[in-house]
Structure 1
Amino acid sequence: MNAPQNLPARSNDHAVLLLHGLSSSASELRFLARLLTEEGFVTHTPELPGYSAGTGHVPMEQWISAAVAEFDALAVQHQHVSVCGLSMGATLAAAVAQQRPAARALLLLSITLNYDGWAIPWYRFLLDYAYYTPMRSRYRYREHEPYGLRNEALRSKIARAMQRGEISEVGPASIALPALHEASRLAGSVRKKLKTINADCLIIHAIDDETSSPHNARFVAANVGASFLRTIWLDDSYHMITSDNEREVVARECALFLRESAAASVSSNNPTPVVSRALARRLRQLATVAGKA
């Protein structure tokens, strides 16, 4: 596996590996990557062979290997490397953290261990069986309303792109059956090994997620091995939380958590605590609330 191309030069000691959703592209994470960059983090959103849009199909073990190689390349250049994923990308990020305990933090956005949201068609479970029939090479699951978006204006824009069969900022118009099969295998593997993940963990999930129900986030929170764990629930978004109404909240909370994680790491080896400005603001807010209680 070749090292990632065009990685940014060293400008910060904390890099974030961003993993987009299944059969999609870096566009899903563009807003988040931009804000993290503005906050001083190095971000890298790679194209993964057999996982990203237009790169064919390979077993999920190769998805993990490719993502781990990207992590390792970043680790050579930066003191801290965290992993963040959206949707099935969050599941893939968890698999990376399982193999690389050195991950500073793990950010799971709309993690998908089961496609069990309220908009998933009743026949979705049949696709697991269809994979073993001649349909495997012909069937594609087509995305449909609401396309992971509560924001109606953006949803209308995405709908036009989907009707033209294009890939959009919230993913592809359709997903091939082999990709869905490998995604199910990946989710099953991650589900069994959550206890082995010790990286600081942030979970952000919409309570109205139409693709992966809140049960996915609750299951991870109850089973992950992280000692520093935060779960944030959103009430004005659907599945694509990096593009929907609360995308700025998502980005800000990710940046804050990364800073808290890195600060805790430094202070554990330094008798003088290192606290970022963002963390200091949060601590003051908590102190104020406690004082009024």
Structure 2
Amino acid sequence: MEQDVLAGAEPFRFEGNDVGVLVSHGFTGTTQSVRPLGEALAAEGFTVAGPRLAGHGTSIEDHAKSTAESWIRSVEEDLAWLEGRCRAVFFAGLSMGGTLSLYFGATRPDLIKGIVPINGCAYLANPELAAALYSREAPPVLPGVGSDIKMEGVEELAYPGVPVPSTREFAALLNVTRDLLPTVGCPTLLIQSREDHVVPPGNGPFILDAIASVDKELVWLDDSYHVATLDNDAPRIAALTIDFVKSLVSED
């Protein structure tokens, strides 16, 4: 049984019209990082779901027991909720949430009409981290990756450390999703910070080239770090996502 949820890390759902958008947070983060985006989408009238991924927003010990499969199941629950009340479903996600948007864009083409990976991750290019994942000498918890934010005074609600067991699960999710990229065919709006201290910015062009989507675009952010949904470019991200969704549902 999972522990009590931290204040601010609760999942959210906003009932709206028949266009749904799932908004996912990232690895070791919480719904706090994407709630402003979810609220902006809801203000436009969309039905919005912001799942709390398993093991997140509780404790590091809880996170260490979570798996890639459990994160996928967390998303599936809210996708089912959206599917039951919406004629079109979109998926926007930050960091690992962006990875999950790509995963579901590939595996649920019947449901997902478009995706918006925001500093989404397909690779980390971090040999030091990779070497630690199966090392006998590695500590059980590695330094945290939260609050990479350019705007002063803004903090992300995230764990202060990264458990090694769940980081192995994250690596597995990256490997699977990377292999699935050529099967992503839905419209895709990639949003990528030029300066990101968690995920290499090269992920944006890499994903753009790898996916099969005909309708795809990469937009660069110049005034935000990794947690861009809480940073200086947050209003721009919301506007871009809203315009992206509106452009596709207006075609129906």
**SS of corresponding position for 2:228:** coil
Q: How has the CA–CA distance of structure 1 residues 53 and 255 changed in structure 2, closer, same or farther, with 3 Å as cutoff?
A: farther
Structure that is richer in strand per residue: 2
2:210 matches 1:223: yes
Distance (whole Å) between structure 2 residues aligned to residue 137 and residue 209 of structure 1 = 25
Higher Cα Rg, which structure:
1
Contact kept? 2:122, 2:174, Cα under 8 Å: yes
Which of structure 1's runs of 4+ aligned residues deviate more than 3 A?
5-9, 50-56, 133-137
Contact kept? 2:145, 2:198, Cα under 8 Å: no
Aligned length: 238
Alignment of structure 1 residues 260-271 onto 2, 5 Å? 260-264=247-251, 266=252
Per the TM alignment, residue 20 of structure 1 is displaced from its structure 2 partner at its CA by 0.3
**1:75 alignment partner in structure 2:** 83
Computed over aligned residues only, the root mean square deviation of the Cα atoms, in angstroms, reads 2.1
Contact kept? 1:127, 1:177, Cα under 8 Å: no
Contact kept? 2:28, 2:162, Cα under 8 Å: yes
Deviation per residue, 1:93-134 (Å, 9 max, x gap): 211222210201111001122235xxxxxxx52333333245
Q: How has the CA–CA distance of structure 1 residues 46 and 260 changed in structure 2, closer, same or farther, with 3 Å as cutoff?
A: same
Judge which range, 251-260 or 60-69, deviates more: 60-69
Distance (whole Å) between structure 1 residues aligned to residue 13 and residue 117 of structure 2 = 23
**SS of corresponding position for 1:84:** strand
Distance (whole Å) between structure 2 residues aligned to residue 29 and residue 251 of structure 1 = 10
2:194 matches 1:207: yes
**1:280 alignment partner in structure 2:** none
Structure 2 residue runs of 5 or longer lacking an equivalent are: 1-10
TM-score, normalization by structure 2 = 0.86
Alignment of structure 1 residues 123-162 onto 2, 5 Å? 124-134=126-136, 138-143=140-145, 147-154=147-154, 158=155
Per the TM alignment, residue 60 of structure 1 is displaced from its structure 2 partner at its CA by 1.1
Deviation per residue, 1:160-214 (Å, 9 max, x gap): xxxxxxxx34x32222111221111111111111111122111000111222222
Structure 1 residue runs of 5 or longer lacking an equivalent are: 117-123, 159-167, 267-293
Distance (whole Å) between structure 2 residues aligned to residue 73 and residue 34 of structure 1 = 18
Judge which range, 250-259 or 133-142, deviates more: 133-142
Distance (whole Å) between structure 1 residues aligned to residue 227 and residue 193 of structure 2 = 9
Structure that is richer in helix per residue: 1
**Percent identity between the two aligned chains:** 24
Alignment of structure 1 residues 233-252 onto 2, 5 Å? 233-252=220-239
